[in-house]
A = this chain, B = another copy of it.
Amino acid sequence: MQKNQLYKGSLSTIVLKLLNDKGKMYGYQITREVEQITTGELVITEGALYPTLHKLEAKGLLSVEIKTVNNRPRKYYFLTENGKEETLNLLNEMKSFIQNMDVLLNPKLA
């Protein structure tokens, strides 16, 4: 997603949370949205995104709806029920991760 290795592992969480909030989105739109929200700091490459979308669909967390717009097909993804549950799990894991990073990297001087 950039030179920073920390983002590795966070892509599914980001995608699911976006879909949770926006209802449905297509791949290209997700890359634009993330870039805009982070003011260009996080750029999701398509080589990372599309395999991730396919994986989440294969796991039953996403469903697809194809719409043709401007004579080009768009694949709109949206959360299944399992996807909504998993989104909550992943958000909790992210909270836990950030808390653990906080105690590790910002220790209270005993």
Q: Chain A interface (Cβ within 8 Å of chain B)?
A: 4-10, 13-14, 17-18, 21, 34, 37-38, 41-42, 91, 93-94, 96-98, 100-101, 103-105, 107
Task: List, in ascending order, chain B residues with CB within 8 A of A6's CB.
Answer: 9-10, 13, 93-94, 97
Known contacts A4-B93, A13-B105, A37-B107; is A98 also within 8 Å of B100 by CB?
no
Other than the given A6-B10, A10-B101, A41-B96, 11 more pairs (CB < 8 A) read A4-B93, A4-B96, A6-B93, A7-B9, A9-B9, A21-B107, A38-B103, A42-B104, A91-B105, A94-B105, A98-B101
Q: State the majority secondary structure of interface residues on A.
A: helix
